[in-house]
Amino acid sequence: MITLENISKTYKKDESAMVQALKNVSLPVGQGEFLAIVGPSGSGKSTLMNIMGLLDRPDEGSYLLDNREVSVLTIDELAQLRNQKIGFVFQTFHLLPKTSALENVELPLVYSDRTDLKDRAQRALEKVGLANRARHYPSELSGGQQQRVAIARALVNDPDIIFADEPTGNLDTRSSLEIMALFQALNRQGKTLVLITHDQDLAQHTQRIVRIVDGEIVGDDPVAQPKDAEAALQAMPAAPAH
């Protein structure tokens, strides 16, 4: 569903220095895949995600999304495509403060043509197991719960693909496993997922690992035996009540 070909991106670091974040990157992503883009910080993986997620445009190269060239679209057309086809999960959750979980999940629908905002948002919260937290504010939720609200927000408009940028970076081990289990479940239901991380272990939960160093893809391998997050959770000692 995604075909990147010879994508390059250069940006200004300061007045004098230019940094080439991506060099001739080519990458196909198929429907229903769960892949990880792994690299150290500064490797260009975030730039890659931004371009794949239509948050940024490449300087050179071609990007086909569902066989449509998107590198030529206007800013507003990209916004509309993001709204309809793409969901984002960020390391820092990016939930609106003082705003209920339900309304946070509703946010993408505000900018869509859909009408049944509340119902859809409620169903998305059910999918991440937070139906009973709809009225809670982010400050009243644990980190793991906040991230699940963010995932519900990514799901609410029924996107084709979800990008998760270090989604467990701010979470403890148990919450991280819960998030990964949720991703694996979503993937089993047919969602395409792209996980961006520097954590090699975490990447083992996906089906395919793309390694990127200094703006170039240096490896692209299937994961022989993906870890099962749900099983790991079961094996953990009982969670303290919270």
- Contact residues toward other proteins (CB under 8 A) are 50, 53, 55-56, 75-76, 79-80, 82-84, 88, 90, 94, 96-99, 103, 107-108, 110-113, 115, 117, 153, 157
Neighbours of 44 (CB within 10 A): 23
In the bound complex, what is the minimum distance in angstroms from residue 236's beta carbon to other proteins? 32
* Residue closer to other proteins (CB basis): 77 or 172: 77
Distance of closest approach, residue 89 Cβ to other proteins, in angstroms: 11
CA–CA distance, 41 with 121 (Å, rounded to integer): 34
DSSP 240: P
For residues 16 and 74, which CB has a smaller minimum distance to other proteins in the complex?
Answer: 74
Q: In what order do the strands lie in the sheet with 192-197?
A: 86-89, 161-165, 192-197, 34-38, 208-213, 216-222
Smallest gap from Cβ 100 to other proteins, in A, equals 10
The residue (of 92 and 142) whose beta carbon lies closer to other proteins is: 92
Give the nearest distance from C-beta 54 to other proteins in angstroms: 9
Q: Which 3 state secondary structure label does DSSP give 88? A: strand
Nearer to other proteins, 108 or 144 (CB): 108
Angle at CA of residue 217, ends 86 and 181, nearest 5°: 45
Q: How far is CA 116 from CA 67, 91, 96, 127, 179, in A?
A: 30, 29, 21, 17, 27
- Can you count the helices (H) and strands (E) in the chain? 8, 10
Closest approach of Cβ 216 to other proteins, in Å? 21
DSSP β-bridge partners for residue 220: 210
